[in-house]
Structure formats: C-alpha cells, structure tokens
Structure 1
C-alpha cells in the first residue's frame, strides 16, 4: 500500500489539525512538506452499520456476519454484529493540501454477509476508488456469484485524513474516520431482488468507515 501526500498546514487549519494529529511528531503550523510516497507497513479498516441501518435490517430479521479474514465487531448485547474489521490488501493514493485524498485505489480482504431466513447476500473483496468515490465488491446471492458491482459510494469531500509524522526511524501514522458510505442504485436493486423489499435509498448512510495504518516514507 503506497500513499503520495502533500500537506500544508495554514494558520486557519492549525487548530483543528493539531487536535487531530496531536502528540510528538505532528506537523507544525506553516510547515510545507513536499510530495512524498509512503508504503504501508500495517493497517486496519472498519465498517460499522449506522443505527438507522441496524433498525431497518432488523425489521426483516436481517443480520450481518463477517467473512474471513474480516472479523466481527459485536454490539453491547454481545450478540449483534454491528460492523467488521478488515485488513487492507493494497492502497495507493494522493492527499491534498487540506488533508483530503484526491485520487487513489484500495482493496480490503474479506467482507460481510447479510442474511435472514429467506435470502443471503455475500459482499467480499471490497475496493474503492477516488475521485469517483464508488465502492465495488464481489456479490454472491444465495449460491450464485453475480460478479463485481459498484454496490456503495462515498463522498470524497467528506473524507479527511490526518498524518502523524514519526520520530526519526519511526513510521508515519495515517488515519481517517467518520466516512459515510451510501448504497448505489445497483446495490439497492441487488438488495431488493434478494430480500424482496427496499429498506434504503441512495441518500441513506448505511455504513461509517474508518481506517488507520503505519506507513514508511520512500525515497
């Protein structure tokens, strides 16, 4: 996973970014950094269902499960899967002066299953791309693979990354959180066909995504 980044922290941005980055190694206000490639050493991504999505799915008895190597994030009741933790396979990208990624691609391993006593949808090998913001995944309904489809979307303007520069000999930490994920029309059509009901629209946020990783600068 490699990331190209260029960050300039202006006076107006100093306070919020300082709060995001925090700690030793944060970029000081007014410091200009040239373009630099980073290679990922390790990382972890999360997809969590929103409260709205959980309530809607519950009306049809639809639950979520993790597809290995993804692992489940359990709710407070210890029974309900509210999200999954995913391991990145690869990512490349460019971060703008304001901390927003302007271009890039990435894929995570594993995925999720949505199922009730009537139908089962398996969504795996999830990958995203910028600047279009579409999220593709391989879809299996019942026993039939339907191929790789653009099931979800993100708004690139709502993705904000923070970088915490490591001390000499230490990697840079890259973080992003609170990223809303909405279904595409293709995703809605597949869901409706599988479960026989339409629970969401393309305006509904069904997942909140976050990610964190350690990256090493390349010469």
Structure 2
C-alpha cells in the first residue's frame, strides 16, 4: 500500500491546496476534480476522473478511516459520501482514489481504499451495504448543482458552516439537484457491464454499481 502521495504518482502538489469544507463532500470533490485538471495531473477536461457517490436506500453507510470519527478505527456512519476515482495510464496502479475526508494516504490505490475504508469483507447487515453512483467528471461538471439546502434545519439554520465561495450552479441554470445524485437504490444497480459503462460516459446521473473494483475493472 502506498504510504505517501509521491509513492502513488510523481505529483508535486501540496494537498492543503485543495478546497475542503467539512460535511460538503460533493462540493469538495467537484473542486478537487477541477484542481486535478488544472494542475496537469489529468486530462484538462477531466476525462480520466470519475465522481463516486456512496449511499444506499437507508441513507446509512459505514466507512472506516474517516477524519470525522472519534473512534480509533475511524468508523463513521454517513448518510452519503463522495470520492473521486482517477484512471492512470502509467504506473503500478490503474486507478487511485482521492478522499479528502479520509485519514488514509492521498491519493491511494483503489484496491487499498476499498479494503481499508469500505471493507467489503466486514460482515454487515444487508441494509447497510454500500452502493455506488459513478459519474464521468466532464458530465458532472456540466450538470451538478447545489444551493446547500440539504445542510439547513427546519428553521433555516445551517447544520454545518457552508463554504465561503458561491454555490455551484449547473450549465443550464439549475441551482439544486444534489438529491438526484444522493438517491441510490438497489433496483438501480446495472446488471449488464456494457450498459453500465455506456451509462457512466453518457448519462447525467451516471450508473449505479454494487462493486466498485469490479466496475472499474470493466473500463480499463
């Protein structure tokens, strides 16, 4: 497993340069992908980047090695979480994960992230099984929008302090569609590998898979 950023790839970038606001993982990943594009760490259009929403119908997903945890193992039960997966054309690892909310190395090989943060071998109740909505970054850039309404209580007060920058608006003027990305159901999981690959590269909401490593092995 990689222990530092440089062991995964020859990246000359201080991770503190990434935009990060706790509890706004979808916006953090949006700007992380933008940063990767502008720093010549990826195709300028984000063609090798994928945004991954992790959730389920119960809106309770266990993830380990999370900074927000007070436990030694870093376990948190999120309602949803968002990470970036980057495809690499060179190096030992074909896919790496960027998770700014994780205590694991940044970036980290996909297999290492899955085994340590998602822990598919850990016995959990079926209702807590993680599902993955995967969207090609160029499509996400065009369509994603959030006015942060999901972070306000019934009285309109902020549950968590919002970012200082302006809210993200989609190219067509949509101001909020985060809920569409967060809604992930077992019935949405693609069973045909050809269909799921096509959906990821063409659909606004990408495709839903139940095995992250298996999905990315199909797009090598």
Fold match, TM over 0.5? no
- Greater gyration radius: 1
Structure number having the greater helix percentage: 2
**TM-score after normalising by structure 2:** 0.26
**TM-score after normalising by structure 1:** 0.26
Structure number having the greater strand percentage: 1
